[in-house]
Structure 1
Amino acid sequence: MQKYIILFSLLFIISCNSQDKRPIPGETAYQKKLNANYKDASKSPLKKNDLKKFKGLEFFPVDSTYIVTAKLTRTENAPVFEMATTTDRKPLYKEYGKLNFTLKGKDLELTIYQSQEDTLDEKYKNYLFLPFTDNTSGDESYGGGRYMDVMTTDISAENTVVLNFNNTYNPYCAYNDKYSCPLTPRKNHLDIKIKAGIKIFKKHSLF
C-alpha cells in the first residue's frame, strides 16, 4: 500500500511541475516575453488574485501593416518638464522630437519623449518613451493609452526609425491602481484605430 502512496505522490508532483512549465502563450517573441514577465510574480504588476488566474495577455492579431517607418525631427533645446501622472508624482521628461509617418493612408504625428531619470541609468539610457491613444482607446484598448519603447540606437543616420505597433504595452495602472503612470498627452491622440498590439485588460480573460 505504501508504494502506491509514494507512486501517487510522485505522479502528483510531476503533474504540478508540468502545469507550471506550460508553454508561454504568444504569437511572437515579444508577446511571449511580455506574458512571461506578467506570469513571474517577482516582475508582474498584476494583483495577487489576478496573477493566480493569469492565462495570458490579450493582443490584436499581428498585422504587418502596423509596422511603419517614421521620420524623426529632433526638438532642439527642449526644456525639462514635469509629466502628469495618475498620482501626484511628477517625473521629469524632455520632448525628444516629432515622429511623422503614414498609416492606412493617413499622415500622422506623435511626439516622443525622453525620461530624465532614464538618462542616468546605464540600463535605460537609450530608451525613448512613446505614449499614444487612438480610436480604440477606452473600448478595445486601455482608455489611458498604450506605450511603445523606442531605442535611440535604432534611429538611422537619416533620422528614421521603425515603429511596430504590434509591440505595444499597457501602463501598469491598467492592471493595478497602486502604480503611478504617465498620462498620455492630448497631442498624442491618433485619429485612427490602431488594431495592433496589446488589448484592454479584462478579468474574464483569466482562468
Structure 2
Amino acid sequence: MRFLFVLCFCFGNMLFAQTPAELIIEIEAYRAKENKKFATTETTILTEKDFADFEHLDFYPVDLKYRVEARFVRTPNETPFLMPTTTDRKPEYVKYGEAHFSVDGHTLKLNLYKNTTPYDDPELKDYLFLPFTDWTSGDGSYGGGRFLDAYIPEGDIILLDFNKAYNPYCAYNSGYSCPIPPKENDLDVRIEAGVKDYAEH
C-alpha cells in the first residue's frame, strides 16, 4: 500500500523524515492558512460580494500519490520570452529547468520558469514559477490552469506537491492579470489534487 512508507529529505548533514500522517497534517495546515487568507479583510483577493458570502475554498481530498519527487533537469542558455496573461501585460520569463516524474504509470514533464525581473524579497531569489493545466482544467478545477510554488533545488530532485496546487488570482477576481500556462505544461492526465474551481461553490 502506498501509505506504508516514510519520506526522507536530506538538507546538508541532517536527515528529516515525515510519515504519511505528518504529511497530511502539513497539507491540511496549508489549506487552513489559505482559507484564513481568503476570509481576512486585509489579505483577501475576493470581490466585496464574494467576500461577504465566503465560507471556505474547495479542495480535492488529500492524496499523497500527488506528492512526487521529480527528477530536476537544469536547462541553461534558454531564450527569455514574454508569457501571455489574461490582460495585455506580458511579464518576461525564462525556462529554468524541467521536472520529470510519473503519476499512475504516466510519464510526465513540467517546465519551471524564472522571472527575469528580480524580486524585492531576497527569500524569493530561488523561486521558480510552475503553471500547469491538466484534464481537470474546466472539469473540476479552474479552466485557466493552476500554479505550484517551487524553489531551485540543491541537487537533482525537486518536490512537487499537487495537494498544494492553487488557482491564479483571476479565478476569483477578474481585476487581476494572471499568466496563462504554456501549452508544454498541459498534462495529459487528471490531477485530482489541490484546489478546485471557485465557481464550483
What TM-score results when the alignment is normalised by the length of structure 2? 0.83
Q: Is the 8 A contact 2:27 2:163 kept in 1?
A: no
Q: 5+ residue gaps in structure 1?
A: 1-25
Question: What is the distance in 1 between the residues matched to 2:78 and 2:27?
Answer: 39
Q: Does 1:187 align with 2:184?
A: yes
Structure 1 stretches of at least 4 aligned residues deviating more than 3 Å after TM superposition: 118-121
CA contact (8 A) 1:132 1:184 kept: yes
**8 Å Cα contact 1:82-1:90 kept in structure 2:** yes
Contact 2:89 2:177 in 1 (8 A): yes
Partner of 1:42: 42
Alignment of 1:40-79 (within 5 A): 40-79=40-79
Q: Which consecutive unaligned segments of at least 5 residues does structure 2 have? A: 1-25
Give distance in 2, aligned partners of 1:34 and 1:151.
20
Pair 1:110 & 2:110 matched: yes
Q: Choose between structure 1 and 2: higher strand proportion.
A: 2
Larger proportion of helix: 1
Q: What secondary structure does 1:65 align onto? A: helix
User: How far does the alpha carbon of each residue in 1:68-118 deviate from its partner, in whole angstroms, 9 at most, with x for none?
Assistant: 111111111122221110000011111011111011111000011011234
The aligned amino acid for 2:34 is L
| Higher Cα Rg, which structure | 1
Give the whole-Å Cα distance in 2 for the aligned partners of 1:68 and 1:89: 33
Which residue matches 1:140? Answer: 140
Counterparts of 1:68 and 1:27, CA distance in 2: 14
- Aligned partner of 1:5 in structure 2 is none
Q: How many Å separate the matches in 1 of 2:192 and 2:138?
A: 13
Deviation at 1:191, TM superposition (A): 0.5
Q: Does structure 2 retain, via aligned residues, the 8 Å contact 1:119–1:126?
A: no
Shift of 1:42: 1.8
Aligned residue pairs, count = 176
2:27 touches 2:164 (CA, 8 Å); kept in 1? no
CA contact (8 A) 1:100 1:108 kept: yes
1:178 to 172, 175, 189: 175
Match of 1:165? 162
Aligned to 1:85: 85
Cα distance, 1:119 vs structure 2: 4.3
Q: 1:88 is matched by which residue type in structure 2?
A: D
- Name the CA distance, whole Å, in 1 between partners of 2:119 and 2:161: 23
User: Which deviates the most, 116-125 or 94-103?
Assistant: 116-125
CA contact (8 A) 1:74 1:98 kept: yes
**Identical aligned pairs, as a percentage?**
45
Contact in 2 for aligned 1:118/1:127 (Cα 8 Å): no
- Report the 3-state secondary structure (helix = DSSP H, G, I; strand = E; otherwise coil) of the residue aligned with 2:88: coil
| In structure 1, C-alpha distance between the alignment counterparts of 2:27 and 2:129, rounded to whole Å | 24
Aligned to 1:201: 198
CA–CA distance in structure 1, aligned partners of residues 141 and 41 of structure 2: 24
Taking the aligned partners of 2:146 and 2:69, their CA distance within structure 1 comes to 19
Tell me the distance in 2 between the aligned counterparts of 1:187 and 1:142: 18
Contact 1:72 1:99 in 2 (8 A): yes
Cα offsets for 1:121-166 (capped at 9, x unmatched): 31422211101100010010000000000022xx242x11111000
For the residue of structure 2 that corresponds to 1:144, the secondary structure is coil
| More deviation, 60-69/78-87 | 78-87
